[in-house]
Homo-oligomer: A and B are copies of this chain.
Amino acid sequence: MMKLFFVTTLLALMVTFTYAQESIFDTTEIVSPEIHEDGSVTFRLYAPEANTVQVSGDFLASQDGRPMATMQKDDKGLWSYTTDALSPELYSYNLMVDGVKTIDPSHAHTIRDVANVFNYFIIGGDDYTELYKVQQVPHGAVSYVWYTSPVVEKDRRMAVYTPPGYNNDDKDYPVFYLLHGMGGDEEAWLGLGRTAQIMDNLIAQGKAEPMIVVMTNGNVAQEAAAGMGSEGMVQPTFEHPNTMDGLFEESFADVMTYVESHYRVKDEKSNHAIAGLSMGGFHAANISRHYADRFDYIGLFSPALHIDLSGFPEAVAYQDADAKLRQQMQDGYELYWIAIGEKDFDVLLQGVDDYTAKMDGMGMGRSYESKKTEGGHTWVNWRRYLVDFTQRLFR
């Protein structure tokens, strides 16, 4: 009797979410994506009224200029498609219903990158991808905090990872500033970048030192990621004023002031690292050079080093850039690490070549590391670069 009553209750409560619950019942029987033992993946969508259903994802061959595959409909209106065996990676996908990009209603796990919302899944099994999963290890905390930036006259938002232990002891920790690329924001490295999972797992394995990771928003015209600032729910965009003209670098002093006064941060240069991807690599190069003798670890991931700084004569952070770079090399650092995919854009590959040639020409010897990896200008590489770079820090 009690059991019956309890079940009735359960149903009553479920019915309550009238709007949400219908959608769940529509798709509750459908498993999508289904990851098979051999690494192949089946996608399914119930859509009896659709004419065409496709799956679009970075793991598929190109079809009409876009990586996608056509799904097949059975006699009940269930569409499905099974991939070949996929190698380990974090993959993202959308479904396309009669040409419209959608998310998979059977898979509530989505990530936003710039203005695109897609589903994702992880094929594990290699050293990198197991780090992208949430494992049963001690977890750090992820906080979204606001700091005041007098340079840009705004309160601004950033994300901070504090390692397991930070909240249980009173020790000081090293700090690693991690910068996003164009169109990104303070959520990017936690989304497709999987930073919290990577840090938790590397620290648990003893492969990375416990450290604070600070993820800023490089678009100084924004308070925060779109929707999280007082600008309201504007559509995220690649185009932000003042992202590559020196202002973000100048305002970085405000970031460091906040971090050093609000977190238990070791203050020696040997405990400070900075890295960024693409535009963030450009920012990291500029910041590490402008704030003299402050960073012992610099990581430039597929960096946009080809920007001509002479185009911004007003930018304090860009003035005397070459002299500052020479000084940075003279002061020394533990690691100046550049990585870029061999299939990256020519303009970026050339920018890296020119930059390293300039460093070589400064006669300081080859004090930096520069390597070309497989792949292009993608999160596949940036996650791996984060894994590789982080293990080199503070030890």
Asked whether A24 lies within 8 Å of B115 as measured between CB atoms, the reply is: yes
| Interface stretch of the complex, out of A207-215, A224-232, A325-333, A362-370 | A224-232
Question: Is A149 interfacial (CB-CB < 8 Å)?
Answer: no
Contact of A228 among B10, B57, B134 (CB under 8 A): B134
The residue that A51 contacts in the complex, of B5, B46, B49, B112, with Cβ under 8 A, is B49
Tell me, in angstroms, the Cα distance from A19 to B56 when the chains sit together.
Answer: 9
Scan residues 122-141 of chain A and give those whose CB is less than 8 A from a CB of chain B: 122, 133-136, 138-141
Look across to chain B and name the residue whose beta carbon is closest to the beta carbon of A224. Answer: B134
The verdict on A113 contacting B17 (CB below 8 Å), with A49-B98, A97-B102, A143-B143 known, is yes
**Stretch from A233-241, A267-275, A284-292 at the B interface:** A233-241
Measured between beta carbons, the chain B residues less than 8 angstroms from A117 are 103, 108, 110, 117
Residue of B nearest to A311 (CB): B2
Whether the pair A142, B139 counts as a contact (CB closer than 8 A) is no
In this complex, which of A118, A157, A233 has the most chain B Cβ atoms within 10 angstroms of its Cβ? A233
CB neighbours (8 Å) of A118 from chain B are 20
Q: CA A247 – CA B168 in complex, angstroms? A: 26
Set of chain B residues within 8 Å of A304, measured between Cβ atoms: 9, 13
Give the residue name and chain of the B residue nearest to A306 (CB): B9
Q: What is the distance, in angstroms, from A46's C-beta to the closest C-beta of chain B?
A: 8
A280 to B312, CA, bound (A): 56
**A355 at the binding interface (Cβ < 8 Å):** no
Q: Does A49 contact B144, Cβ atoms closer than 8 Å? A: no
A230 → chain B closest CB, angstroms: 5
- Report chain B residues within 8 Å CB of A134: 224, 227-230, 232
Residues of chain B within 8 A (CB-CB) of A232 are 133-134
Say how far A107's CB is from chain B's closest CB, in angstroms: 7
Cβ A308 vs Cβ B116 within 8 A? no
Within 8 A of B (CB), among A38-71: 45-52, 56-58, 66-67
* Residue A167 lies at the interface, judged by CB distance under 8 Å to chain B: yes
**How far is B101's CA from A22's CA once the two chains are assembled, in angstroms?**
11
Q: Which of B92, B102, B146 is in CB contact (< 8 Å) with A103?
A: B102
Q: How far is the CA of A307 from the CA of B3 in the complex (A)?
A: 10
- Interface hub of A5, A99, A138 (most chain B Cβ within 10 A): A99
Contact of A98 among B47, B138, B308 (CB under 8 A): B47
Contacts of A322 in B (CB 8 A): none
Q: B16 and A114: CB pair below 8 A?
A: no
Contacts of A88 in B (CB 8 A): none
A20 to chain B, nearest CB (A): 4
Assuming A2-B310, A13-B345, A14-B182, what are 15 further A-B pairs, CB within 8 angstroms?
A: A2-B308, A9-B304, A12-B347, A16-B278, A16-B378, A19-B57, A23-B101, A45-B100, A48-B99, A97-B102, A101-B105, A103-B103, A109-B227, A134-B228, A134-B232
